[in-house]
Amino acid sequence: MAAEKAEMDALKKECDALRTQIEAARKAVNDSSMSAASGGATAVGRVQLKLRKTLKGHLAKIYAMHWSADSRQMVSASQDGKLLVWDTFTGNKLVAVPLKSAWVMSVAFAPSGNLVASGGLDNICTVYNIKAASPKTLRELDAHTGYLSCCRFLSDTEILTASGDTTCCLWDLETGKQKVIFTNHIGDCMSLALSSDMNTFISGACDSLAKLWDVREGACKQTFSGHTSDINAISFFPSGNAVITGSDDCTCKMYDLRADQEVIGYQDTNLNAGVTSLALSSSGRLIFAGYDDFNCHIWDSLKGEKVGVLSGHDNRVSCTGVPADGMGVCTGSWDSFLKLWN
């Protein structure tokens, strides 16, 4: 017993020493700030986007939405127990997928456009073929021991999931089995984002940490701290070298992967609502962040200033997305509507 305690104490000491070493290494490269670097960049001025369409059809709170890779179709999920696939150019509903469990928290479109996936309090990620005559359940991925908070397809044969059981998982859709389990978070995983080369992904969790993972090896490569509450939203900067997070602490942060630290924060003393979702414009200059205050606020990512707001929802903005062609922003809300802006 005493030997074990001694070993534990030695390991704890080593952990503390390593943490100090990491902080020192980060400080050593912290020779400037984003604000200093962005002094030369022209201001974006006031960003005033117009509401182009309001998509009506859901009968209860919308919890998630995801654009198709074609930048035209989009899928939304509501606790009315339905997934709706929309043609955003016409506003028409193309497909309605009835869910076994209405408590949905996440939805995803496969890059091919053939499949959608959803999951929530049922702990299961269900994958549907929406190209069939009527939506057909392809797979029920059932192994998480906590709610499904986020899912993202790599292809028609692989999908990543994030769960309230604190793990993320890579699944093989041909077998329906787990391929890799990503463990390191100590709080519910709330959100994930895949890098464009699909070799890495980032996760945000209720332990207030963001983590970068190697998809194939299952290893956590980097950990980013700084938030003081749950991270609800996470996204890659389009160059792939930085990560943006949104949190219940009412702030967003940008962490640079190569500098291994936070480079700028987005907060406003008048903004006392948690961040639920976020999306970036195609150049990465604008951050669209959905908040509990019913608005989607727009931030200049380089200067850290608020440059606009998308107002119109009558309840919390729960999801935000920019399509691959960058032509607009979609916001989804607990008011049951989706809005398209540009």
The residues that bridge with 342 in the sheet, in sequence order, are: none
Q: Does 29 bind another protein (CB under 8 A)?
A: yes
What is the H or E stretch that residue 6 is in?
helix 2-29
Q: Does 285 bind another protein (CB under 8 A)?
A: yes
Per-position b or e across 62-79, b if 16+ CB within 10 A of its CB: bbbbbbbeebbbbbbbbb
* Segment 287 to 326, residues that bind another protein, using CB under 8 A: 301-302, 322, 325-326
Cα separations in angstroms, 208 against 27, 74, 229, 234: 21, 30, 5, 12
Q: Does 21 bind another protein (CB under 8 A)?
A: yes
Of 231 and 310, which has the nearer Cβ to another protein? 310
Sign of CA dihedral 11, 14, 20, 23: negative
**Rg for the chain, CA atoms, rounded:** 20
Alpha-carbon gap, residue 338 to 329, rounded angstroms? 10
Size of the site for another protein (CB under 8 A): 68
Q: Does 272 bind another protein (CB under 8 A)?
A: no
Q: Does 131 bind another protein (CB under 8 A)?
A: no
Alpha-carbon gap, residue 131 to 114, rounded angstroms? 6
Among 166, 191, 203, 281, binds another protein (CB under 8 A): 281
Of 92 and 157, which has the nearer Cβ to another protein? 92
Alpha-carbon gap, residue 84 to 146, rounded angstroms? 25
Of 15 and 94, which has the nearer Cβ to another protein? 15
Q: Which stretch binds another protein (CB under 8 A): 8-16, 59-67, 107-115, 195-203?
A: 8-16
Three-state secondary-structure class, residue 113 = coil
Distance in Å, CB of 225 to another protein, minimum: 11
Sign of CA dihedral 238, 211, 101, 54: negative
Of 134 and 183, which has the nearer Cβ to another protein? 183
Amino acid 251 reads: T
Amino acid 282 reads: S
* Segment 192 to 231, residues that bind another protein, using CB under 8 A: 219-223
Distance in Å, CB of 263 to another protein, minimum: 6
The binding track of 99-118 with respect to another protein, each residue x by CB under 8 A or -, is --------------------
Q: Does 2 bind another protein (CB under 8 A)?
A: no
DSSP 122: T
Q: Which residues contact 14 (CB under 8 A, 6 or more apart)?
A: none
Q: Does 342 bind another protein (CB under 8 A)?
A: yes
Q: Does 137 bind another protein (CB under 8 A)?
A: no
DSSP string, 298-314: EEETTTTEEEEEE---S
Q: Does 54 bind another protein (CB under 8 A)?
A: no
Residues that bind another protein (CB under 8 A): 1, 4, 7-8, 11-12, 14-15, 18-19, 21-22, 25-26, 28-34, 36-38, 40-41, 44, 47, 49, 52-53, 72, 88-89, 184, 219-223, 237-239, 241-242, 254, 256, 258-261, 263, 281-286, 301-302, 322, 325-329, 340, 342
